[in-house]
Amino acid sequence: MIKNKYSVLSVDSNPDYLFFVPMACAFWKEINYQPFVILVDTGIEPELKELVFSETEKVGGHIKIIEHIDGYRTCNVAQISRLYAAADPYFNDDDYLMTDDMDKFVIDYMWFNQQNSNKDIHIYDPDELNYRRLKIGNIGMKASVWKEVIGIHDGTLRDNVRTCFDKHLSQDSDWNTGWNLDEWILTNSVFNSKYYPSQCQNFERGGTRWGTRNGRICRSAWSQTFNECMSTKLIDIHLHRDPYVGRVWEDTVTIMRRIFPESKVREFINYKEKFVELIDE
């Protein structure tokens, strides 16, 4: 049995992602993972920052602030930082770290807790990209294995991200190069490691007729997948941009009511109202 499980998420000041932090942490806590959020802080409005931090602390999440690296997009710094989370002294080498995106809510306890402890790397949904490229959500290893596979050195988390950029990303790189860098590094590092394939465990997921993943309520086919998954099997949710308005928010509240007591749902509704009020000022 694998113990001391952590989910590793990241975010910058973009409100469409920042909004999710306390809620994403609460969903991870429900399936027995301790949430660890890396925040690239570029001057978030103090009241908004206090709101996000206080609500995240309330649900048991931990936020690690790292200073932005000048010359690069904050989203790229946030994305890459997940690969180097094991560098942070918050973790022990035996801690188990699983990466994911901030705009995902995890639901199915059994899906995310089925790892064989005799395997060193656990790869979720490798069939989505035909086993040729790994997705950042989800892959899990002990911190010591992350250090070895990714090549984490003795510096800080930010130092490691800086080294990665110096090696792989010029400051004039186009948007696509930066956006896909984390999964390119992840894929090459795992595939070229001593652990692949014999010490890797794959969890195939399969796809739907809408081009989405089985068990996922997905923003690319929200109505269809919401109706399907709410009546069959729900593993996770990939949320819309601008998630705090209209049907998407109403459906999100409906999902919350399946997972959390009404008192916590009301807290998240109040949080949403405060968040929207602050970003509209």
- For residue 239, give the 3-state DSSP assignment: coil
Q: How many residues does the chain have?
A: 281
Q: Which residues contact 47 (CB under 8 A, 6 or more apart)?
A: 278
Average pLDDT, the chain: 95
Per-residue pLDDT of 8-67, as tens digits, reads 999 999 999 999 999 999 999 999 999 999 999 888 999 999 999 999 999 999 999 999
C-alpha 1: how far from chain center: 23
Report the pLDDT averaged over residues 213-234.
Answer: 97
List the one residue out of 246, 231, 253, 211 whose CA is nearest residue 105: 253
Whole-model pTM? Answer: 0.96
Alpha-helix runs per DSSP H in the chain: 15-18, 21-30, 46-59, 74-81, 109-112, 143-150, 157-168, 175-179, 181-191, 222-231, 246-259, 262-280
Residue type, 192: N
Per-residue pLDDT of 94-151, as tens digits, reads 999 999 999 999 999 999 999 999 999 999 999 999 999 999 999 999 999 999 999 9
Per-residue pLDDT of 172-187, as tens digits, reads 677 667 778 999 999 9
Tokens found for residue 30: 């429900």
Report the pLDDT averaged over residues 244-256.
Answer: 92
List C-alpha distances in Å: 3 to 6, 83, 193: 9, 20, 24
